[in-house]
Chain A
Amino acid sequence: MNGPSPLRAFGGIARRELLRFLNQRERFFAALVRPLVWLIVFAAGFRAALGLSIIPPYQTYITYEVYIIPGLLGMIQLFNGMQSSLSMVYDQEMGSMRVLLTTPLPRWFLLLSKLMAGVTVSIVQAYAFLVIAILFGIDIPVPGLLPVLPALILAGLMVGALGLLLASVIKQLENFAGVMNFVIFPMFFLSTALYPVWKMQEASAVLAAICEWNPFSQGIELIRFALYGQVNWLALAMTAGSGLVFFLAASWAFDPSRRFRAGRTA
Chain B
Amino acid sequence: MFRTLAATAALVCLTSTTALAHWVYVSNEKDDTVSVIDTETNEVIKTLQVGQRPRGITLSHDFTRLYVCASDSDAVQVWDVATDTLIHNLPSGADPEQFALHPDNKHLYIANEDDAIATVVDVDSRTVVSQIDVGVEPEGMAVSHDGKWAIVTSETTNMAHWIDTGTQQLVDNTLVDQRPRDAEFTEDDGELWVSSEIGGVVSVIDTATKQVTHRIEFAIPGVSKDRIQPVGIELTSDGKYAFIALGPANHIAVVDRTDDDKVIKYILVGRRVWHAALTPEEDKLYTTNGVSGDVTVIDVASLKAEKTIKVGRFPWGAAILPKDKIPQ
Residues of A within 8 A of B (CB): 47, 49-51, 54, 59-63, 139
Given contacts A49-B222, A51-B250, 10 further A-B contacts (CB under 8 A): A51-B270, A51-B271, A54-B308, A59-B307, A60-B297, A60-B306, A60-B308, A61-B269, A61-B270, A62-B268
10 smallest CB-CB distances across A and B, nearest first, come from A49-B222, A60-B308, A59-B307, A60-B305, A47-B222, A50-B250, A49-B223, A51-B268, A61-B268, A51-B250
Q: How many A-B residue pairs have C-beta atoms within 8 angstroms? Tell me.
A: 38
Contact with B250, one of A47, A54, A59, A61 (Cβ below 8 angstroms):
A61
8 A–B contacts, CB within 8 A, in A order: A49-B222, A49-B223, A50-B227, A50-B271, A51-B270, A60-B307, A61-B269, A63-B268
Across the interface, which residues of B come within 8 angstroms of A51, CB to CB? 250, 268-271
Q: Does B7 contact A (CB under 8 A)?
A: no
Q: 1/0 per position for B84-100, CB-CB distance to A under 8 A?
A: 00000000000000000
The yes or no answer to B296 lying at the interface (CB within 8 A) is yes
Q: List residues of chain B with CB within 8 A of the CB of A60.
A: 268-269, 296-297, 305-308
Distance, CA A139 to CA B299, complexed state (A) = 14
Residues on B with C-beta less than 8 A from A62 are 268
Q: Which residues of A contact B296 (CB under 8 A)?
A: 60-61
Determine the residue in chain B with the shortest Cβ distance to A141. B304
Give the chain A neighbours of B250 by CB distance below 8 A.
50-51, 61
Report the separation of the CA atoms of residues A46 and B159 in the bound assembly, to the nearest whole angstrom: 40
Residue of B nearest to A62 (CB): B268
Judge whether B221 is part of the interface by a CB distance below 8 angstroms.
yes
Distance between Cα atoms of A47 and B222 in the complex (Å) = 7
Q: Which of B295-328 contact A (CB under 8 A)?
A: 296-297, 304-308
Q: Which residues of B contact A49 (CB under 8 A)?
A: 220-223
- CA distance in complex: A49, B270 (Å): 12
**Interchain CB contact under 8 A, B304 and A50:** no
CA distance A47 to B268 in the complex (A): 13
Task: Identify which of A51, A60, A63 gathers the most chain B CB atoms within 10 Å of its CB.
Answer: A60
> Could you tell me the distance between the alpha carbons of A227 and B221 in the complex, rounded to whole angstroms?
26
A61-B305 in contact given A51-B268, A51-B270 (Cβ < 8 Å): yes
Interface string of B244-259 (1 = CB under 8 A from A): 0000011000000000
- Across-interface contacts of B306 in A (CB, < 8 A): 59-60
Q: CA A47 – CA B307 in complex, angstroms?
A: 21
Size of B's binding interface in residues, CB under 8 A: 18
Chain B positions within 8 Å of A54 at CB level: 308
B299 to chain A minimum Cβ distance, whole angstroms, is 11
Residues of A within 8 A of B270 (CB): 51, 61
What does the 1/0 interface line of B12-36 toward A look like (CB < 8 Å)?
0000000000000000000000000
* Contact, CB under 8 Å: B308 / A61: yes
Kindly provide the distance from the CB of A178 to the nearest chain B CB, expressed in whole angstroms: 39
Write out the residue numbers on chain A whose beta carbons fall within 8 Å of the beta carbon of B305: 60-61
**Closest CB of chain A to B301's CB: distance in Å?**
14
For B221, give the chain A residue with the smallest CB separation.
A49
Taken together as a complex, chains A and B put the C-alpha atoms of A60 and B294 apart, in Å, by 10
Instruction: Give B224 Cβ to nearest chain A Cβ, in Å.
Output: 10
Q: Which residues of B contact A61 (CB under 8 A)?
A: 250, 268-270, 296, 305, 308
| Nearest CB on B from A144, distance (A) | 13
- A233 to B95, alpha carbons, bound, how many Å? 52
Q: How far is the CA of A185 from the CA of B307 in the complex (A)?
A: 35
Residue interface bits B193-234, CB-to-A below 8 A is 1, else 0? 000000000000000000000000000111100010000000
For residue B220, which residue of chain A has the nearest CB? A49
- The docked-state distance in angstroms from the alpha carbon of A62 to that of B250 is 11
Shortest Cβ distance from A68 into chain B, in angstroms? Answer: 16
Q: B271 touching A139 by the CB < 8 A rule? A: no
Bound form: Cα–Cα A50–B269 in Å: 8
Residue of A nearest to B307 (CB): A59
Closest A-chain residue to B227, C-beta based? A50
Residue of A nearest to B42 (CB): A59
**B93, chain A: closest CB distance, angstroms:** 37
Within the complex, the shortest CB–CB distance from A253 to chain B, in Å, comes to 48
Instruction: List the B residue with the shortest CB-CB distance to A52.
Output: B268
In the assembly, what is the distance between CA of A50 and CA of B271, in Å?
A: 8
Interface centre among A50, A59, A139 (most CB of B within 10 A): A50
- The smallest C-beta distance from B252 to any residue of chain A, in angstroms, reads 11
Query: Digit string of B116-144 for contact with A (CB within 8 Å is 1, else 0)?
Result: 00000000000000000000000000000
**Chain B residue at minimum C-beta to C-beta distance from A50:** B250
Tell me the smallest distance from the CB of A94 to a CB of chain B, in Å.
50
> In the complex, how many angstroms separate the beta carbon of A216 from the nearest chain B beta carbon?
28
- When C-beta atoms are compared, the residue in chain A nearest to B289 turns out to be A61
Question: Shortest Cβ distance from B40 into chain A, in angstroms?
Answer: 15
Q: Shortest CB–CB separation between residue A110 and chain B, in angstroms?
A: 47
| Residues of chain A contacted by B222 (CB below 8 angstroms) | 47, 49
Interface residues of B in 260-274 (CB under 8 A from A): 268-271
Q: Shortest beta-carbon distance, A58 to chain B, in Å?
A: 9
Query: Nearest residue in A to B304 (C-beta to C-beta)?
Result: A139
